């Protein structure tokens, strides 16, 4: 295990012939450059990749269902439909016959951020968001209804027979309708009970992780306009020969599988990540042993470089906060969102950052470094990078919490070139020189 700290690269002090300033000190700027470096395993300072869990909103209660694959993470959609007692005064049992059913389709509603996909993958003019141009869908019956507590996890086993009728390459747009066989639907309502179904990205799909509305969606502003009465969650749509109004069967449960989730690196030599959706937040701990004991810290800036070629997702705030080091272990640990909120002290942040565009990110952490370097606290503290959580109200933009969109910032690590690696730059003055008024001269 390689742990990380900050090592002193050098202090520059010299004589100056500058005229005295307004306060009479005539100080020469003293540069103190601290850079995150790999240290020995017995070093006290260290890096951690925190997994943050929110037991109040498990995956099965998230507002968005994810389908596809991107950055080493893949997901299918699971849906349970209840076929008991579906008949009513508006849709009596007599309507549900092979002669009267014109079509049966599965309807999905894509979030507007992901754009309108197009059939021709060479034409990206209709694609926004993650840049995905085409997702083809397959629809399969499971052996049994799914257990919502089992996810993230592997896709449940099933017979494996596809239920899709017709070609898949016509399924584009923000409200795709997957054609099914009416005779299958008649069998389901005849047998009754709750059945589970799997919606997956079929062979030929472009890579990309795309979000669709779930039965728990409350944030309708994230959708394009839909007709009154539309069920935005995955639902079965039955079109009759004898009726102008379609029958809609909503799900009784739905979830993303997240059957493969890219692991957060625990050795940041090659990089580290900040992920929303399934939260993963990096922690950096600093060793200030190289600072002179009489250093007065004027400014401290933390710089990290985001790899825009691999990062993806919607715009997010990024926040830097202080975190007690006795709250977690290195190189990885799991905290609840409540534990994180109760133990952070927000330092600074930036809003509206695009994972695929904003590359060099600089955070003014002067006050935090002053507190930590001067041992203001009884225990040691580190800096944690998070998204705009509720505990950071200045950077909590809008009504969406970070579990809504699955996004990922891939930061370059300590093996990157010097200009791109994580970097903490501290500018300081020597307090003895200040008191002596000698113009900041030093050896």
Torsion-angle region of 187 (φ positive above 0: left; ψ -120 to 50: alpha; else: beta): alpha
The residue that leads in pLDDT, 403 or 139, is 403
Distance CA 370, CA 309 (A): 35
pLDDT greater than 60 at residue 105: yes
Q: Which residues pair with 213 in a beta bridge?
A: 64
Residue 205: what pLDDT? 84
Residue 31: what pLDDT? 42
Distance CA 267, CA 282 (A): 11
Count the alpha carbons within 13 Å of 221 in the hemisphere toward its beta carbon. Answer: 5
* Range with the poorest average pLDDT among 187-196, 303-312, 319-328, 390-399: 390-399
Distance CA 354, CA 105 (A): 36
pLDDT greater than 80 at residue 420: yes
Backbone angles phi, psi at 386, to 5 degrees: -130, 175
Q: Yes or no: say if 7 and 35 are a contact pair by the CB < 8 Å rule.
A: yes
Mean pLDDT score, 257-282: 95
Collapsing DSSP states into helix, strand and coil, what is residue 344? Answer: coil
Residue 246: what pLDDT? 96
Distance CA 265, CA 107 (A): 37
pLDDT tier for residue 124 given thresholds of 50, 70 and 90: very low
Cα 140 to the center of its chain, rounded Å:
28
pLDDT tier for residue 33 given thresholds of 50, 70 and 90: low
Q: What is the pLDDT of residues 173-188, one digit of tens each?
A: 788 888 899 999 999 9
Mean pLDDT score, 259-275: 94
Distance CA 80, CA 234 (A): 10
Sheet containing strand 295-305, edge to edge, reads 3-11, 30-39, 423-430, 295-305, 360-364
Question: H-type helices in 101-247, by residue range?
Answer: 182-191
pLDDT tier for residue 425 given thresholds of 50, 70 and 90: confident
Q: Which residues pair with 409 in a beta bridge?
A: 274
Domain boundaries, the chain: 3-56+263-436, 73-256
Q: Yes or no: say if 65 and 211 are a contact pair by the CB < 8 Å rule.
A: yes
Distance CA 303, CA 97 (A): 65
């Amino acid at each position: 295990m390689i742990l990380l700290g900050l090592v002193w690269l050098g202090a520059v002090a010299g004589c100056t012939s500058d005229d005295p300033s307004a306060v009479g000190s005539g100080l020469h700027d003293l540069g103190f450059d601290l850079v995150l470096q790999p240290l020995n395993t017995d070093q006290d300072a260290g890096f951690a990749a925190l997994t943050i869990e929110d037991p109040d909103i498990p995956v099965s209660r998230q507002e968005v269902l994810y389908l596809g694959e991107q950055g080493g993470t893949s997901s299918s959609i699971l849906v349970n439909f209840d076929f008991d007692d579906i008949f009513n005064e508006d849709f009596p049992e007599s309507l549900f016959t092979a002669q009267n059913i014109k079509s049966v389709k599965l309807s999905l509603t894509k979030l507007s951020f992901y754009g309108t996909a197009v059939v021709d993958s060479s034409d990206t003019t209709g694609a926004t968001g993650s840049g995905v141009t085409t997702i083809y869908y397959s629809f399969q019956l499971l052996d049994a209804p799914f257990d919502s507590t089992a996810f993230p996890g592997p896709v449940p086993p099933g017979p494996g027979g596809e239920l899709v009728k017709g070609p898949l390459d016509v399924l584009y747009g923000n409200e795709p309708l997957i054609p099914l066989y009416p005779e299958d639907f008649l069998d389901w309502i005849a047998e009754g009970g709750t059945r589970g179904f799997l919606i997956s990205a079929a062979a030929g799909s472009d890579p990309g992780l795309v979000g669709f509305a779930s039965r728990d969606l409350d944030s309708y502003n994230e959708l394009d306009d839909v007709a009154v009465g539309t069920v935005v969650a995955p639902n079965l749509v039955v079109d009759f020969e004898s009726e102008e109004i379609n029958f809609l069967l909503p799900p009784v449960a739905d979830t993303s599988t997240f059957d493969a989730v890219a692991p957060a690196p625990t050795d940041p030599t090659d990089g580290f990540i900040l992920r929303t959706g399934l939260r993963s937040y990096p922690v950096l701990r600093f060793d200030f042993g190289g600072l002179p004991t009489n250093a007065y810290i004027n400014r401290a800036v933390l710089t990290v470089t985001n790899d825009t070629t691999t990062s993806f997702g919607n715009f997010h705030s990024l926040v830097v906060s202080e975190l007690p080091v006795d709250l977690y272990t290195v190189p990885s640990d799991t905290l609840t969102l409540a534990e994180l909120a109760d133990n952070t002290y927000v330092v600074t942040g930036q809003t509206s950052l695009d994972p695929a565009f904003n590359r060099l990110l600089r955070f003014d952490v002067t006050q935090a470094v002053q507190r930590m370097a001067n041992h203001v606290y009884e225990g040691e503290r580190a800096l944690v990078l998070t998204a705009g959580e509720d505990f950071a109200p200045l950077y909590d933009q809008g009504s969406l919490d970070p579990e809504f969109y699955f996004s990922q910032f891939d930061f370059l690590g300590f093996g990157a070139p010097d200009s791109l690696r994580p970097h903490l730059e501290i500018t300081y003055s020597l307090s003895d020189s200040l008191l002596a008024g000698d113009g900041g001269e030093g050896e």
